[in-house]
């Protein structure tokens, strides 16, 4: 009987330790900023005359992740006008996609709008690999994706449509590295 009691105490301790580890990693990306570089190479279809032209676009923006208590929310910030940054995309990362050292991001739409105005929109999923310090604070987070799909949205005022490949690079940054015009939440 004593052995069974000790086994339940040990199992309870292990469950408590695991719950603490999950809580720390589940909140690891709260209030974290990333720089996002997106590039496109392919073709643009003119919807007025159906002509096709080769095109490449490079743009950058910022990804902000915060914990709502029930899930992570993501927001993409783009410079929509000279010195004006707005939220132009994002989504939710439900808690069931969060493990001790990885946070899986289901399909989201990341839209970048530039002042000229060009719109580059991608549908992507991926994962954040999280490394914590001994005090459970975030040490490092890296993002990987198997790829992104260009969303067939009009990308210019002339309503041209993009077809091609898109690449996404995401790097964690300090909030102090943001342009001063980006609204820090």
106 lies in a domain? Answer: yes
pLDDT attached to residue 52: 92
Could you give the dihedral angle defined by the CA atoms of residues 74, 56, 147 and 138, in that order, rounded to the nearest 10 degrees? -40
Residue 75 is assigned to a structural domain of this protein: yes
Residue 127 confidence (pLDDT): 94
Residue 74's pLDDT is what? 95
Which pLDDT does position 32 carry in this prediction?
Answer: 95
Q: For residue 184, is it within any domain?
A: no
Which pLDDT belongs to residue 17? 35
- Domain assignment present for 109: yes
Question: For position 25, what pLDDT does the model report?
Answer: 55
Residue 185 lies in a domain: no
User: E-assigned strands of the chain?
Assistant: 32-45, 52-67, 72-81, 84-93, 102-113, 119-132, 138-144, 148-150, 161-173
Q: State the total domains in the chain.
A: 1
User: CA-CA distance, 174 to 92, in Å (whole number)?
Assistant: 22
Domain range for 73: 2-177
What pLDDT score does 154 carry? 66
Domain assignment present for residue 135? The answer is yes
* Residue 134, domain member (yes or no): yes
Whether residue 132 lies inside any domain: the answer is yes
Question: Residue 26's pLDDT is what?
Answer: 57
The pLDDT assigned to 157 comes to 66
Note down pLDDT in tens along the chain; length 185 residues: 444 343 333 333 333 333 333 455 557 899 999 999 999 999 988 888 889 999 888 999 999 999 998 899 999 999 999 999 999 999 999 999 988 889 999 889 898 888 887 888 899 999 999 999 999 889 999 999 988 888 877 676 677 888 889 999 999 999 999 999 999 87
């Amino acid at each position: 009987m004593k052995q069974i009691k000790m086994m339940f105490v040990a199992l309870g301790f292990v469950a408590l330790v695991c719950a603490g580890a999950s809580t720390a990693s589940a909140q690891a990306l709260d209030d974290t900023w990333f720089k996002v570089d997106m590039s496109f190479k392919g073709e643009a279809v003119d919807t007025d005359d159906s002509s096709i032209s080769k095109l490449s676009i490079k743009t950058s923006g910022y990804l902000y992740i915060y914990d709502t208590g029930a899930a992570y929310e993501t927001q993409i910030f783009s410079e929509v006008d000279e010195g004006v940054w707005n939220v132009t995309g994002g989504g939710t990362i439900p808690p069931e996609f969060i493990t001790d050292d990885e946070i899986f991001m289901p399909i989201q739409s990341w839209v970048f709008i530039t002042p000229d105005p060009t719109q580059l929109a991608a549908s992507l999923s991926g994962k954040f690999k999280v490394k914590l310090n001994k005090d459970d604070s975030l040490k490092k987070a890296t993002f990987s994706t198997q790829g992104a799909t260009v969303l067939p949205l009009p990308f210019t005022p002339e309503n041209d449509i993009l077809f091609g490949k898109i690449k996404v690079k995401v790097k964690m940054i300090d909030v102090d590295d943001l342009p001063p015009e980006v609204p820090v939440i």
